[in-house]
Structure 1
């Protein structure tokens, strides 16, 4: 009797450790084919940074599998059933996708496989707790983060799966007859940003460094962009080079082993950040329209600027030429590193929607084009939080002052001086208000494009339309 074959279709799980799909495939068949599909529906909107990082992750995964990763290009609805038929696979194993496009795609792939007598088997997901699992006691989704996070923690999650590249017996894709043609992993695209090292090994190294040192001061340093206070794990979580289950298990051990209150507070804070990621995934799963539209439909009535002047202001914001140093530093970091500190993401978003009165989705689109860690659920709902239109949103009257935000979170001005070289010679916190310098604004740096106090009041006036829309 010839050996049976399964297909393991990788998506946002580009690793060999903690892989429940490997266990399911090994249980279902004698051997497995490793598959990745270059899907134009996903690659088309992705920026160069995300595609380049993805290609690096694929190269490392292929190496971990001894060159046995089959890469094909095309619509998965077409190519996945063809691959399964070509190798005689009766099962195709995936981690469940809960995104708007991914869930539709998987249903269509499952239908195509069923027509050939094969089955799509979903095992696990990119999340510690799959979207849709956490609900209120009386049923229904949470709209507010804090009660969600409590219920999420009470629900709990499985321990990391003990897997490696040797969990499955991988077949050489070159022995496959028929089916879609294999393609090489694409070359890197031109990216002006300096990207983090891609792949599972880099993820595990970075995570170990953070556990050994960074986590102890995470609670106090995570909001300070001039310090290396964050873990830097978001690109790796985006592509599944490490699973949040692994992260949460390590954080729990670090919490239990520590005798310092500051470290315990830091581990709690880090787990909360993972919970935010899972909350936004749950929100998007239940309201897929919120990826493009206001979660709170009362904000459909908010007057927004459009037209040539609005697009000109958008461009100045994108280029980091607003005249507000902390905003410009954040936008320039985004271009230079394809990443931005989370505190700055909130600051620059507030400036766009509440000082410039531009649509949040304009900014969200720009972030998704440039961010190496661009995640639809976290990005779109983070923007809606700042705009006030999302679930658990920032109150509409909370309008970040870009000057006081800079002085509070970059008190020495080191972050601004790093990213805004025109202000490199301005000492201390004076860098946050260069228009007050005795000699005037340094050459090459622009005047503030708006008066914050005036635009704050303008934003509050515009929000009256939202309040009117909510009245019975």
Structure 2
């Protein structure tokens, strides 16, 4: 009997456990993707561009046998099940608050037809690594130790020939829609083909120096795999098979562990997607109103008068990406120099970033703002000038993204960092 393989955050054919499960019987498999209008409303244009390009790559990998349909999944998936007489729907598990609620509705709508989840976008799925008493970790270091001890499976041996795929043209009563196009540029090729190529290039040319170069935005030393991981164009299991015991490899493994850690935090405390994980920070004083909005607009436009901050914001607006070290610098500036809510910055990042991931983005912001789990102390206030001197010592990054720095066209600083640092600490004292 036929089954459905419903793609979501797993836009690949290799290392896909759900594909093995879908093909386990003797029947054919209908590969499908649902263009949920809620995703279109909440995703920035650049993420939609990556999504649509990755879907085209996936469709090519299946020789055209990917059915794309628009609508609410709780309506479209049961309709596809009925159209092909499917006995089950197979998916990779989704642990985000949105994903778990969506899947609950689909399960209810399917009735007796099971929605079978297997695998996840992570090396270790949320909830698997806990303390001895079964409670979740709130601090990364002990989580990292336990996470490595737990370990993970090897890559699933799947590919384009894993299943006998149903031709969408043979499915009666369901239109196989064209994949939309978005008129916006992104600086990364999308999809599984590009992801696998990019990873091999990083391992061959940059991995050895990654531990030393990863904090330098002026050096081409990072992997740029974040967007591929966000959309599941490659699985981290596939990646770790290429990691050895070297310094660079272990530094990279630690970053993958952070990704799993934040996914677990969001799964355990779903309210933290937009609210302070540490509720003590609910009472901290933040600025709002017209003057605060003006400062926010200057921050978004890269017109604060602090070169490393403005270069980062220009990189974001022009490319849909920002180096991670600069993300921390720009976030600290928004929260502790401008005294604005971290949610304002997190929302702007999600609008602009190709790799915008709810767990990573929201908890990265809360780490900087001091209100997240295992966060940086609030009194750790990045000095944007010294950060620029340390991580962009020759000014190459600033020159690339902010050519007017140092000219008459560049604005004076909109705040005095020394004054605003003391003001941030005063506000922190109010909630201690």
What is the TM-score of this pair, normalised by structure 2? 0.99
SS at match of 2:141: helix
Asked whether 1:168 is paired with 2:149, we answer no
Per the TM alignment, residue 29 of structure 1 is displaced from its structure 2 partner at its CA by 4.3
Find the aligned partners of 1:149 and 1:356 in 2 and give their Cα distance: 33
Give the drift of 1:195. Answer: 2.5
Q: Which residue of 2 aligns with 1:103?
A: 100
- Rounded Cα–Cα distance in structure 1 between residues aligned with 2:334 and 2:26: 53
What corresponds to 1:243 in structure 2?
235
- Count of residue pairs the alignment pairs up: 432
Q: Does 1:450 align with 2:415?
A: yes
Q: Is the 8 A contact 2:49 2:186 kept in 1?
A: no
CA distance in 1, matches of 2:74, 2:213: 45
1:42-441 → structure 2 map (5 Å cutoff) = 42-114=39-111, 117-178=112-173, 180-187=174-181, 189-191=182-184, 193-251=185-243, 254-255=244-245, 264-423=246-405, 434=406
Q: Separation in 1 of the partners of 2:393 and 2:137?
A: 37
**What is the rounded CA distance, in whole Å, between the counterparts of 1:383 and 1:128 in structure 2?**
23
Between the aligned partners of 1:78 and 1:133, the Cα distance in structure 2 is 31
Distance 1:286 1:32 in 2: 33
In structure 2, the residue matched to 1:465 is: 430
Instruction: Report the Cα offset of residue 40 of structure 1.
Output: 1.2
Deviations 1:120-169 (A, max 9, x none): 00010111111111100122011111111111111111100111110000
Distance 1:28 1:388 in 2: 50
Q: Deviations over 1:153-209 (max 9, x none)?
A: 11111100111110000010111113x43311002x232x43301111110111000
CA distance, structure 2, for counterparts of residue 124 and residue 379 of structure 1: 22
Secondary structure, counterpart of 1:36 in structure 2: strand
User: 1: distance between equivalents of 2:119 and 2:113?
Assistant: 20
Question: Distance between the aligned counterparts of 1:415 and 1:15, measured in 2?
Answer: 33
What is the alpha-carbon distance in structure 2 between the residues aligned to residue 233 and residue 321 of structure 1? 29
Change (3 A) 1:81 1:29: farther
8 Å CA contact retained: 1:49, 1:195? no
Pair member with larger Rg: 1
In the alignment, which of 4, 8, 13 is matched to residue 7 of structure 1? 4
CA shift for structure 1 position 465: 1.8
Structure 1: any 5+ residue segments left out of the alignment?
256-263, 424-433, 435-441, 468-472
Contact in 1 for aligned 2:46/2:352 (Cα 8 Å): yes
1:195 and 1:372 in contact (8 A); partners too: no
In structure 2, distance between residues paired with 1:422 and 1:458: 30
Deviations 1:410-456 (A, max 9, x none): 01110001111113xxxxxxxxxx5xxxxxxx211000000000000
Between the aligned partners of 2:420 and 2:231, the Cα distance in structure 1 is 39
Q: Secondary structure at the match of 1:27?
A: coil
After superposition, the C-alpha distances for 1:7-53 in whole angstroms (9 at most, x for unaligned) are 00000000110011111011134210000000112221100000011
CA distance in 2, matches of 1:162, 1:190: 36
**What is the TM-score when the length of structure 1 is the normalising length?**
0.90
Q: Following TM superposition, by how much is the alpha carbon of 1:108 offset from its aligned partner in structure 2, in angstroms?
A: 1.2
Q: Structure 2 stretches of 5 or more lacking a match?
A: none
Tell me what 1:430 maps to.
none
Cα distance in 2, alignment partners of residues 460 and 266 from structure 1: 36
Moved over 3 A (4+): none
